[in-house]
Structure 1
C-alpha cells in the first residue's frame, strides 16, 4: 500500500477502486433485483431521515465554516444543503402521498448527486481560500437554494407538466451519469491526494464517502426503480454524505482547513504541523533535538520545508512528498549523538572533529532504523551529504547511486545552512549562496533541484561571485 500511495496514478486508482469494491460486491452478491415491498409512505419516511442526515451535515459544516471564516467549508456545506433540499423534494413527490403520479420524483432523484458534486468541485478554486469571498459565496449559495425551493414549488403546483426524466437506463440518465461521475472523480482525486499526504483515518473516510456518492449514481440512474438493488443507491447517498460531511465538519470545528474536499494541502504544512500529520514520535525527536541545539532544530525544520517545496515543484506524488517531509525532519537527527562541544563550537573544526560530525548521517540512519522507519525514509537521512561527483559522505556515492530524495535534501540543506547565521560564521547573502549551488550544479548538486530552488525562492546567483567550495558540515 505504501508503494502505491507513493505513485500519483497508483494512489488514485487503488483507493478509488478499493472504496468502490465494497458497494459493488454487496450489490452483486447480496442485493436482489426483486421489487422491494416498500410503500409510498415508507419511501417518504426514508427520504425524510436521509434528508435530515444530509441537513445536519450541511448545518454543521456551514456553521463551523462561518465561525472560522473558511469559505470553502461553507461551500461544502452548501453542496450538502442543495442535496438535502433536492432529496426532500424527491421524497415529497412520492406518488400517492402528497400528490399523484408525477415526474418530479424522477427529476429530483436524478439531480441530487450531480448538483451536489458540481458545487463541491467549485470548492477547490484557490481564490476561494480564506474569508475574502465569504459574503459573495453566501449570497450565491442562498440564491441556489432559494432557486431549488422555488422550482420545486412550481413543479408541485403543476406536477402533470413535469416529464418523468431521466428514465432509468435512458439516454438522459446515461448523460447525467457521465457528468456526475466526472464531477465526483474530480472530488475523489482531491481526497486521495490529501490522504496520501496525511495518512489520517478521517481523510480516508472522506475518500470512501466521496467514492460512494459517485457510485450511488449507478443504481439511482441505471437500475429499475423500486427494486432492492435500486434502494442501495439511496443507502449509498446517505452513507456517503455522512462519511464525507462528519470528518470535514469536525476538522473545521477544530480550526483546521477543509483540505480533503479541496485537495490543496501543501506538503510544507506537514512540516509545520508534524505531530498532527506525521506522528507524535517525530515531535518527540524534534523536541529532543531542540533541547540539544535550538539552531539545529530550526535548521532541520526549514530544510524539510524547502525540500517538500522542491519536491512539489518537481512533481513528486503526494506519498513521496510525505516521505520527503519525514526524511527532512529526521535528516539531522543523528546529531543527537554528536558531542555538544563539537556541534556548537564557534571556531573552525579540527580534522578529527570534522570526522566526528560527518558521522551524523550514519547515526541518523541507525536511529531511524531503531524507530522502525523504512529504508525509503532512511536512505535520504543517510545520503543528504552525498554529492554527484562522489566527494560527499558517508558512503562516497556518485551519480545514479544517489536517489532523488537525497539530492533534494542535499540542495535544501546546503541552501539553508548558507543563508542562516552559524556560531562559526555569519549568514551568506542569498545571491552568494545561490552562486555556489549553481556553480556546482551537475557536479555536486542535481541541476533540476537547484533550478527548482531558484524558482521557489526567486533568488538569482550573484554575477561576479566565486564562492569557496569547502563548507563545514551543515
Structure 2
C-alpha cells in the first residue's frame, strides 16, 4: 500500500469517527450517560501506566540508538501517560469530588503529546533539535522535574481556577493541539513520501486520530457514550505509533537478540540494533548500486571505531562513529549508475555530481532522527584537512573530529578494496598513502593514531583481501 493510500485511509477513518461523534451528539437518545467512575479509574490508570512503562523503554532504546526523533516521541508518551494516570486516579466521585483536576490533566496530557510530536517532526539540524541532542543525557531528569512541578501546581488548584475547563479555554487549547498535530502529521507525511519508513506512516495515521480525540475531548459531555469513545481512540492512536516504532526498529532477528544488541557494550555489536530494517535496506541499496563497495559501509564503521578507541574517544562518540560510518555513503542512492560505476576518470561534470552524495545523504538522514554527530560524519567525510575537500571546503579543526576519523577509515577501505576503475592496493601501500596525506588530506593526529593500530587483526576480521597487483596513481585519484 503506497503512502497516499495510507494517508487517505487514516483521514477516512478519522472522518468516520468524527461523523459518528457528531451523530451521537445530535441524537441524545443514541448518546446515553454511562456513569461508571470506578471503571473509568481502573481502565484509564492501568492502561496509562502500562503505556508509561513502554514509553520509558522506548526512551532508553532511543538513548542507546542515538535517535533524537525517537527520544522526543518517548518524552511525548511519558508526558501523556503520566498525566493521564493522574486523570484516571482523580476520577470524580472516588478520591475527588471536583471534576476540575480530572479535566485539566486530560487536556494537558494531549497538549504535551502534541508539542513533543511536533518537535520530533523537525529535522535533526534544526536549532531546537541540536540543543536537545547536545543535552540529551539530561533531558529525562529535566522532564521528570518538569512533570513533578506540573503535578504540584495541578494539585494546588481550586475552584477559582475553573476558567481552565470553561468552553472558550478548552476550545483555545484544542486549537493549539490541532495545530501541533497538523504540523507533525504533514511533516511526517512529506518524510514518508521520501523514505518510506513505517514510523513516519504510523505517525501520520495517529495524528489523524488524535485530532478526533481533541475535538471530542473539548466538546463532549462527560460520561456520555461519545465522551467514552475518545479514551478508546486515544489508546488506539498510541498503539499505532508504538507498532510503528516496533516495525521500524525491530531487526529480522528475535526480540531477545534485538534487546541484547541494544544493551551491548561493544559499539559494533550495537550497530546491528541501531539500524532498523528500513535504514539497513538503504545501505544495501547503496551497495547494490555500487557492487564494488559491498561491505564497505560496515568495514568503514569498524575501522572508524578502532581508530576512535585508539584516540580515546568516549563510548557515546564511538556509537556515533559506528552508526555514522555505516551510513556515510547513503547519498549514493541518488547518483546515476553510469556515473557511480564508470570505469576510468570522471569528467568535471560527473565529478561535481558524485561530490553531491554527502549533501544528499545529509538531507535524507536529518529527517530520520540521526543526531548531529552522525549527520556531520555523513556530510563531512570527504572534507580535507587543507580545505580542498567537499562539499563545504572546511579546513583543519573546522572539520568535526568524528568526520576526520571517518575520512581516514573511508579512504583506507576504499584503497584496499577493488573498484570498477582499479584493483585493490596492498595494505602497506595504502598505509603509506595515508601517511603521506597527513596535514594535507588528513588530520595528522588521526594519521598518527592510525599508524599505531595493530591492523593484522582488524583487517582480517573485516574480510579485506589485498591483491598483489598495484594500480597506477591515476587509478586511485577518485579515492584520495
Bin of the TM-score, shorter chain as denominator length = 0.5 to 0.7
Q: Please point out which of 123, 127, 130 is paired with 1:127.
A: 130
Q: 1:273 to 1:101 in 2, by over 3 A?
A: closer
- Using the size of structure 2 for normalisation, the TM-score is 0.52
Deviation by residue 1:200-223 (Cα, 9 ceiling, x = unmatched): 334311221233223311111123
Q: Please point out which of 22, 47, 51 is paired with 2:48.
A: 51
Deviates more, 1:248-257 or 1:30-39: 248-257
> Which residue pairs with 1:205 in the alignment?
202
- Using the size of structure 1 for normalisation, the TM-score is 0.53
Deviation by residue 1:223-250 (Cα, 9 ceiling, x = unmatched): 3333333333222221222222453367
Per-residue deviation, 1:150: 1.7
Q: 1:221 to 1:192 in 2, by over 3 A?
A: same
1:19 matched to 2:10? The reply is: yes
Per-residue deviation, 1:102: 3.0
> Which residue pairs with 2:96 in the alignment?
99
Q: Please point out which of 241, 252, 263 is paired with 1:244.
A: 241
Q: Please point out which of 148, 169, 174 is paired with 2:171.
A: 174
The CA RMSD measured in Å over matched residues stands at: 4.8
> Which residue pairs with 2:156 in the alignment?
154
> Which residue pairs with 1:359 in the alignment?
none
Q: Secondary structure at the match of 2:156?
A: helix
Runs of at least 5 residues in structure 1 that lack an aligned partner in the other structure: 6-10, 258-269, 299-322, 336-342, 349-383, 388-408, 417-428, 435-452, 460-473
Per-residue deviation, 1:113: 0.6
Q: 1:35 to 1:324 in 2, by over 3 A?
A: farther
> Which residue pairs with 2:353 in the alignment?
412
Q: Is the 8 A contact 1:27 1:229 kept in 2?
A: no
Runs of at least 5 residues in structure 2 that lack an aligned partner in the other structure: 26-30, 123-127, 251-257, 263-274, 301-329, 358-383, 396-477
Q: Which runs of 4+ in 1 moved over 6 A?
A: 252-257, 272-275, 384-387
Instruction: Tell me the distance in 1 between the aligned counterparts of 2:236 and 2:335.
Output: 39
Per-residue deviation, 1:134: 2.4
Per-residue deviation, 1:55: 0.7
Q: Secondary structure at the match of 1:32?
A: helix
Deviation by residue 1:91-130 (Cα, 9 ceiling, x = unmatched): 2222212222431222222221112222344444231364
Instruction: Tell me the distance in 2 between the aligned counterparts of 1:205 and 1:281.
Output: 24
Q: Is the 8 A contact 2:110 2:177 kept in 1?
A: yes
Q: 1:280 to 1:47 in 2, by over 3 A?
A: same
Instruction: Tell me the distance in 2 between the aligned counterparts of 1:119 and 1:413.
Output: 37
Q: Is the 8 A contact 2:132 2:139 kept in 1?
A: no
Q: 1:458 to 1:226 in 2, by over 3 A?
A: same
Q: 1:83 to 1:174 in 2, by over 3 A?
A: same
Instruction: Tell me the distance in 2 between the aligned counterparts of 1:164 and 1:43.
Output: 24
Q: Is the 8 A contact 1:274 1:283 kept in 2?
A: no
Instruction: Tell me the distance in 2 between the aligned counterparts of 1:234 and 1:58.
Output: 18
